[in-house]
Amino acid sequence: MSLANAARVQRGSTPALDLRPLAATIGTLLAILGASMVLPALADLRAGVAGESAFVGSAAVTIFVGVLMIVSGRSAGPMRLDLRQAFLLTTSVWVVLALFAALPLAWGPSGLSPVKALFESMSGLTTTGASVMSGLDAMAPGVLLWRNMLHWFGGIGIVVIAIAVLPALSIGGMQLFRTESSDRSEKFLPRAGSVAKGLLAAYGVLTLLCAIGYGLAGMRPFDAVTLAMSTVSSGGFANSDSSLAVFANPAVDYVAIVFMLAAALPFPLYVRAFSGDVRKLFRNPEVRLFLGLVAVFTVASFLQQTFQGIASGEPALRGALFTVASLMSTTGFMAVDYTNWGPLSDAIFFIAMFLGGCTGSTSGGLKSLRILIALKAVRQHLKRISYRNGQFPIRYGGAPVSDDVVASVLGFIFLYVASFVVISVILSMLGLDLRTALSAAIACLANVGPGLGPLVGPASNYGGLSEPAIAVLTLAMLLGRLEIVTVLVLVVPRFWWR
């Protein structure tokens, strides 16, 4: 510790924030991101289309800045992050990577404005899948590959943060998902590195299986690989303006359903399943609740289609299951346009978007774990009212849940709903109608992608919105992906000067 920091500690003030570990980490990720831009450049070159120069130039700039940050952040000893550094790093990584990932979208043939290019790259890295780009059927393969690569990078990053960082930061009840319950240290980076290996293996295996499934269903190799990256990351970027509806293939729909649902389940349970403990996956109470909700919403949508004469039989069941799986997993693919099915359908799918998948998965939303804990807390409160002297501990997976975890979950749910309301009000003030404002707000906050209605629905995109609205929704995607608290705490003065 320096003399200046020691003096601050003696006076009771906060030591100066050391940014070197952050610079080194972000610089390393930037260098990897820049090197990966070579792949879409090669895809364009192989296809004989213009645009590879945008990826080459973006790669050069990104790698150069990354190397500079690595050099500036180099230190003699091993890197260790305290609480403030961990919060700042978690948000900074997504912001900085999204800025540099937007370069080829702004400099390339797509010619997006800086605001729209950042929206597209943020949507990719946060696996939201909302897009401002149209004409995808004739788009250069490099751009299509790059969008789905961003999904894949963001997906594994989300899983690692959800398992290795957020539980240690005690955000939204994520303490229950702590993989090393005895580890109370603040050494975030070493722990993230050790956890990432098994998760990356599970992530890679699911991606490979999904690509094989799409290939067997009749997709050409390019579509199979890129859409597998989008599916397993719960992203939703497709290679056509019509999403997966362009294939009009039931086999493709069923492959997508299986892997959208698989991506919404906790990835640490896959690590255990691959080691032989398969029963653990389906005995998990959060997994059971998630799959139960999928079944309920699917039946409700199927019955609505049948009684209203929209569809019947297997097509109705497949359309309902696909749509519910897409929205609950927050993937956002479209096989059928569900926006004209009526108010009941809007209500079902709006709730599905709000809830999301499981913790420790690539999906977004409120998460089934928090829903389960909140329901248990309500039941506990009702029992305490009925039996004043009774003891009714909340349990999850057979283990008791502490009051601070319950408070964390309820606090997160309040922030989630409050953020949704604020974003919806701002969008309404920017001129959007109520249906569009509400659905766009939750679609981006929950990282779903498509909303409801003709402007942001699955048959359209966000390109018709004003740039102020697009900027607000870009922030919403970041808030939702990083569990809100991680971002909001950075604007609290007490966090920096405690």
207 band by pLDDT with thresholds 50, 70 and 90: very high
Per-residue pLDDT tens for 379-393?
A: 888 888 888 777 788
Bin 461: left if φ > 0, else alpha if -120 < ψ < 50, else beta: beta
Would you say residue 286 has pLDDT above 60?
yes
431 is in an annotated binding site: no
Q: Which residues are CB-neighbours of 290 under 8 A, at least 6 positions away?
A: 264, 265, 328, 357, 358, 368
448 is in an annotated binding site: yes
Average pLDDT score over residue span 150-178:
75
DSSP 3-state helix, strand, coil percentages of the chain (rounded to 5)?
70, 0, 30
291 band by pLDDT with thresholds 50, 70 and 90: very high
| Encoded amino acid at 38, one letter | V
Between helix 343-355 and helix 285-307 the angle, nearest 10°, is 170
Can you give the pLDDT at residue 161?
77
Per-residue pLDDT tens for 213-235?
A: 999 999 999 999 999 999 999 99
Q: 4-18, 37-51, 64-78, 102-116: which has the minimum mean pLDDT? A: 4-18
Using an 8 Å Cβ cutoff, are 70 and 28 in contact? yes
HSE-up (13 A, CA, CB side) for residue 20: 12
Q: For residue 365, give the H/E element and its range.
A: none
Would you say residue 81 has pLDDT above 50?
yes
Average pLDDT score over residue span 318-329:
95
The more confidently predicted of residues 427 and 171 is: 427
The more confidently predicted of residues 254 and 382 is: 254
Q: 39-43, 148-152, 455-459: which has the minimum mean pLDDT? A: 455-459
Domain ranges of the chain: 83-498
Tokens representing 367 are 């998460």
447 is in an annotated binding site: yes
Would you say residue 77 has pLDDT above 60?
no
Strand, helix or coil at 140? coil
| Encoded amino acid at 377, one letter | A
Phi, psi at residue 19, to the nearest 5°? Answer: -90, -5
127 is in an annotated binding site: yes
Between helix 83-101 and helix 20-36 the angle, nearest 10°, is 30
474 is in an annotated binding site: no
Q: 152-166, 317-331, 432-446: which has the minimum mean pLDDT? A: 152-166
Q: Cα 491 from chain centroid?
A: 22
Number of C-beta neighbours around residue 404 at 10 A = 11
Per-residue pLDDT tens for 381-430?
A: 888 888 877 778 888 877 888 888 888 889 999 999 999 999 999 999 99
Q: Is 434 exposed, middle or buried (0-12, 13-18, 19+ CB in 10 A)?
A: exposed
Q: 70-74, 330-334, 370-374, 424-428: which has the minimum mean pLDDT? A: 70-74
Strand, helix or coil at 113? coil
Using an 8 Å Cβ cutoff, are 272 and 287 in contact? no
Average pLDDT score over residue span 36-48:
91
Q: Of 181, 5, 3, 172, whose CA–CA distance to 82 is shortest?
A: 5
Average pLDDT of every residue of the chain: 86
Q: Is 411 exposed, middle or buried (0-12, 13-18, 19+ CB in 10 A)?
A: middle
Q: Please give the Cα distance from 264 to 450 (Å, whole number).
A: 17
